Copies of this chain bind each other. A is one copy, B any other.
């Protein structure tokens, strides 16, 4: 019998096919049974009428426990009332494996229990939906960047020095070379690659040995860093807005069922695709925050509460640009109009998404960059290869980094970032 993926059911109406999957749920009246079957591509209700099937198949219905694997042969029918919903009129059932009593039930489980059983928890409908949204987010990122002439150039994980923060590094004993550090960002490396390929991005795991235990931190998470030659601050912000819009649009187009499962109201996402994002300078943001009652002072970094306050009444993400260079890293270009300002931006998502993107134009002047490296107390010898890039055909260039899990968290509307990566790693967890 021809195999069908549930997501292709629309193409097999009135045909007899076989679906292979797992039993998510079962209801039976004694004469008719409803099996909720999933195969990874989707969910379908299989209807078994006792009088229409063999004794063996009806027996199978009885034997099946939750999570049992099975092959169902039947005819696809369109749901009489609901559009784009299909059912399976069962002809026969082959049991593949009867599951033991499944430890995850519909009752509430504590987060520790669920995290210890992450390998099974992934099967829950909600987790399925988040995994699928993550795939769509990642695919959309690859798509958009290729449309905009970027190619992918993977940056290394083992690095001799750190891009931003010298304290939160994981150190790995490395043969006779002492220690390597796990990358916190590939930015410096893709800056080198733009002189070859013009526009490029990396997309991989990065690592922070931060002790923070919050809803927004993981020790291992996925970042996409993009970098483009001849792109300056304003165009850089345009690329970021374009990327976020493309991701949101992809999710709206491809994740209807996923959003339904997550009971995620997509109205706010539609506005994000249609409207221009808001842009505040850092100075404007501080004034606004103080008006709104924050005790933040000029020159200070924004806290989570501040980010929330700034976006609370906004229906689009908010760029905060042109920060004080004193609180930003050495590689950001200083505003030619104001030496205290860095040409950078953070993008704050709506609905409590927090910071989604950080970007900046990069310092392309050799002397200015070297001075910043010295000011920050970094070892200029370690950055020689990076400053080299300013000796041989320096160009204005800019880039940004987007955190995959934060984007997935925003899209799926879940509270905790640990649900936005298949196997989360935190200060207290490296298992399963």
Residues of A whose CB lies within 8 Å of any CB of B are 3, 5, 7, 20-23, 39-41, 67-69, 96-97, 99-100, 102, 117-120, 122-123, 127-128, 131-132, 134-135, 138-139, 142, 146, 149, 151-160, 170-177, 180, 182, 189, 192-200, 204-205, 207, 209, 211, 219-220, 222, 229-230, 364, 385-386, 388-389, 391-396, 421-423, 425, 427-432
7 contacts across the A-B interface (CB closer than 8 A): A40-B200, A41-B197, A120-B192, A123-B195, A160-B430, A170-B172, A171-B173
Each complex incorporates copies of this chain amounting to: 2
A431 touches B69 (CB 8 A): no
Q: How far is the CA of A142 from the CA of B146 in the complex (A)?
A: 13
Q: How far is the CA of A192 from the CA of B127 in the complex (A)?
A: 13
Q: In the assembled complex, how far is the CB of residue A70 from the closest CB belonging to chain B, in whole angstroms? A: 8
Cβ-neighbour of A132 out of B100, B119, B151 (below 8 A): B151
Q: In the assembled complex, how far is the CB of residue A328 from the closest CB belonging to chain B, in whole angstroms? A: 23
Q: How far is the CA of A92 from the CA of B194 in the complex (A)?
A: 24
Q: In the assembled complex, how far is the CB of residue A425 from the closest CB belonging to chain B, in whole angstroms? A: 5
B395 touches A69 (CB 8 A): yes
B192 touches A122 (CB 8 A): yes
Using CB atoms, name the residue of chain B closest to A424: B156
For the residues of A in contact with B, the DSSP-based class is mixed
B152 touches A139 (CB 8 A): yes
Q: How far is the CA of A101 from the CA of B5 in the complex (A)?
A: 60
B195 touches A122 (CB 8 A): yes
B40 touches A97 (CB 8 A): no
Contact A193 to B422, CB < 8 A, known contacts A20-B230, A97-B393, A395-B97: yes
Cβ-neighbour of A156 out of B149, B155, B198, B425 (below 8 A): B425
B154 touches A422 (CB 8 A): yes
B430 touches A40 (CB 8 A): no
B177 touches A182 (CB 8 A): no
Q: In the assembled complex, how far is the CB of residue A336 from the closest CB belonging to chain B, in whole angstroms? A: 15
Contact A127 to B196, CB < 8 A, known contacts A5-B149, A155-B423, A205-B157: yes
B156 touches A423 (CB 8 A): yes
Contact A41 to B198, CB < 8 A, known contacts A172-B170, A193-B122, A193-B422: yes
- A157 contacts which chain B residues (CB < 8 A)? 157, 205, 207, 220, 425
B196 touches A428 (CB 8 A): no
Contact A122 to B180, CB < 8 A, known contacts A391-B100, A422-B153: no
Q: In the assembled complex, how far is the CB of residue A349 from the closest CB belonging to chain B, in whole angstroms? A: 21
